[in-house]
Amino acid sequence: MLDPTRIAEHNDAAHEHHRRDYEHLGQHLQRRKVDIERIVEQVQAFAVAVPSWALGTGGTRFGRFPGGGEPRDIYEKMDDIAVIHQLTGATPRVSLHIPWDEPDDPAALRQHADDLHLGFDAVNSNTFQDQPGQDRSYKFGSLCHTDAEVRRQAVAHNLHVMEVGKTLGSDSITIWLADGSNYPGQMHLRASYERTLDGLQQIYAQLPADWRLFTEHKPYEPAFYATVVQDWGSSLMLAQALGARAQCLVDLGHHLPNTNIELVVARLLTAGKLGGFHFNDSKYGDDDLTAGSIQPYQLFLVFNELVDAVQADLDGFDPAYMIDQSHNLKDPIEALLQTVENLQRAYAQALLVDREALATYQATNDVLMAERTLKRAYQTDVTPILAEARKRADGAIDPVEVFRAAGYRQAKVDERQAGDYVPPSSL
Ligand SMILES: [Mn+2]
């Protein structure tokens, strides 16, 4: 972790400008009848899980350009996540991928996490690649496969992932399936769905009583013709067929271009099936770019639905927030620091929406004023709120600046040397 006095020194140096900006914003919000202290408290309570696969440089199928000092194992990845949490106060949990980051000794890893004041979020299974020594191949699918032995193996893997998760203190499993086909006729469309549901039912039957199971849809890739769980409708059908503890996970990159994702969120909320998010951003497809980097307004509109759901006190509303990104060009830690800030920014902006006024404009069909109400919240610069929330959590007023000044990456370059790190593809 970073030396806390370094963070304190940075905050002291930045304090006077920050104080003035914060006071000014507080006065501005007061005129809008918003208590800035209340917003800071809510931003402080926001937490998002970091995936174990986001700490190393990702790549594409064309190549990978690793930076130095990447973590070589899950222990070093946890160390990096602890630094992100130290600077932001917002990433207390890790979402573990199995087998990529499967610990030899889960109890020992849990102890390491405890020492770093970290916990575990959803565990992620993987039946989209073959692992060394594996009996059967997933080349033609896993839970949807025509061969019952392959399906049995995929179910067993998910049960194993849950066992590891139990030891770690996880409380949910995310199942993203690559299952699908590349050509018309290759796969029976209805039968493959039914086999998938049957497998998920076997997994769900073993789900610990206090756990949730998330199904995650994706329209295409690696299946280029028909993916079994290709859209939120298919995901919802599965969650509804499985039972109350099965919910849908929305990965922001897993939608066809121009999909209204906030509307998808609203529909899943209505169905009581919004399980959580994989945050990222994209221009074209499943690009896994930094959340809020390309379409910040869309991210705000998603959070707007979530804040609205909280204020409406929707039954069973408890979304799990996770990041799912692949950092090909940026330093992964810096990209995650930036991501957390972008998420908190969208959340804080959504908290500023004057919902009473919006409801009135909606009721009277005042289109322009309704839209302007959202834009007014979105266009408010909430930077001082985010800085204040971090400062109160002993984090940094400017996390990236402190991270760079502290020389953490260079220290890791020396310490970790060139590891034998093999990057995962992204989910
Ligand atoms: Mn995902």
CA–CA dist 423, 71 (Å, integer): 11
Lowest mean pLDDT among 86-100, 117-131, 310-324: 310-324
Is the pLDDT at 423 greater than 70, yes or no?
A: no
Separation of 363 CA from ligand 1 center, angstroms? 37
Question: Helix (H) and strand (E) counts for the chain?
Answer: 15, 11
Q: Which helix (H) or strand (E) holds 181?
A: strand 180-181
**Contact by Cβ (8 Å): 425, 178:** no
Per residue in 220-264, pLDDT (tens digit) is 999 999 999 999 999 999 999 999 999 999 999 999 999 999 999
Residues 6+ apart with CB under 8 A from 26: 36
Q: Give residue 275 CA to ligand 1 midpoint distance, Å.
A: 13
Give the tens place of pLDDT for each residue, 22-40: 999 999 999 999 999 999 9
Predicted pLDDT at 182: 98
Question: For 70-98, what is the mean pLDDT?
Answer: 97
CA of 69 from ligand 1 middle (Å) equals 25
What pLDDT was estimated at residue 426?
53
Q: Residue 223 has what pLDDT?
A: 98
Distance 339 CA to ligand 1 centre (A): 15
R_g of the chain computed on alpha carbons: 22
Whole-number pLDDT of residue 132: 95
**Ligand 1 center to 254 CA (angstroms):** 8
**pLDDT score of 168 more than 60:** yes
Can you tell me the distance from the alpha carbon of 48 to that of 76, in angstroms, rounded to the nearest whole number? 19
Partners of residue 322 on adjacent β-strands: 49, 278
Q: What is the pTM of this model?
A: 0.96
- Please write the tens of the pLDDT for every residue from 381-401: 999 999 999 999 999 999 999
d(CA 109, CA 164): 11
Among 415, 409, 394, which residue's Cα sits nearest to residue 6?
394
Is 281 in contact with 289 (CB distance < 8 Å)? Answer: yes
Tell how far the Cα of 61 is from the centroid of ligand 1, in angstroms.
18
Contacts of 159 (CB under 8 A, 6+ apart): 203, 206
- 86-100, 312-326, 333-347 — which is least confidently predicted? 312-326
- 7-26 pLDDT, tens digit per residue, is 999 999 999 999 999 999 99
Ligand 1 centroid–CA 285 distance in Å is: 12
Query: What DSSP letter does each residue of 285-352 carry, written as one string?
Result: SS--BPTTSS-HHHHHHHHHHHHHHHHTT-TT--PEEEE----SSS-HHHHHHHHHHHHHHHHHHHHT
Count other C-beta atoms under 10 Å from residue 184's C-beta: 9
Give the per-residue pLDDT at 315.
83
What band does 424 get if pLDDT is binned at 50, 70 and 90? low
The pLDDT assigned to 316 comes to: 81
The whole-angstrom distance between residue 76's C-alpha and the CA centroid of its chain comes to: 20
Amino acid 417: pLDDT: 77
Distance in Å, CA 18 to ligand 1 centroid: 36
Average pLDDT over residues 132-157: 98
Over residues 342-354, the mean pLDDT reads 98
Per-residue pLDDT at 291: 98
> Is residue 420 predicted with pLDDT exceeding 60?
no
d(Cα 334, Cα 247) in Å, to the nearest integer? 31
Q: If you measure from the C-alpha of residue 110 to the centroid of ligand 1, how many angstroms do you get, rounded to a whole number?
A: 24
| Distance set, CA 292 to CA 119, 296, 306 (Å) | 25, 4, 16
Give the Cα separation of 282 and 291 in Å (integer): 8
pLDDT at position 418 over 90 = no
The mean per-residue pLDDT over the stretch 147-159 comes to 98
The confidence band for 88, taking pLDDT boundaries of 50, 70 and 90, is very high
Q: Which residues surround ligand 1, an ion (CB under 5 A)?
A: 251, 278, 324, 427
Q: Is the Cβ–Cβ distance between 355 and 32 less than 8 Å?
A: no
Residue 422 has pLDDT above 60, yes or no: no
Rounded distance from Cα 166 to ligand 1 centre (Å): 21
pLDDT at 320 over 90: yes
Mean pLDDT over each residue of the chain, to the nearest integer: 96
Contact 61, 101 (CB under 8 A): no
Distance 378 CA to ligand 1 centre (A): 26
pLDDT at 92 over 90: yes
How is residue 54 annotated by DSSP? G
Cα–Cα nearest to 192, from 258, 140, 236, 264: 140
User: What is the Å distance from ligand 1's center to 343 Cα?
Assistant: 16
Q: What does the alpha-carbon distance between residue 126 and residue 53 come to, in Å, rounded to a whole number?
A: 12
Q: Residue 190 C-alpha to ligand 1 middle, in angstroms?
A: 24
Q: How far is the CA of 51 from the centre of ligand 1 (A)?
A: 10
Mean pLDDT (whole number) for 314-318: 88
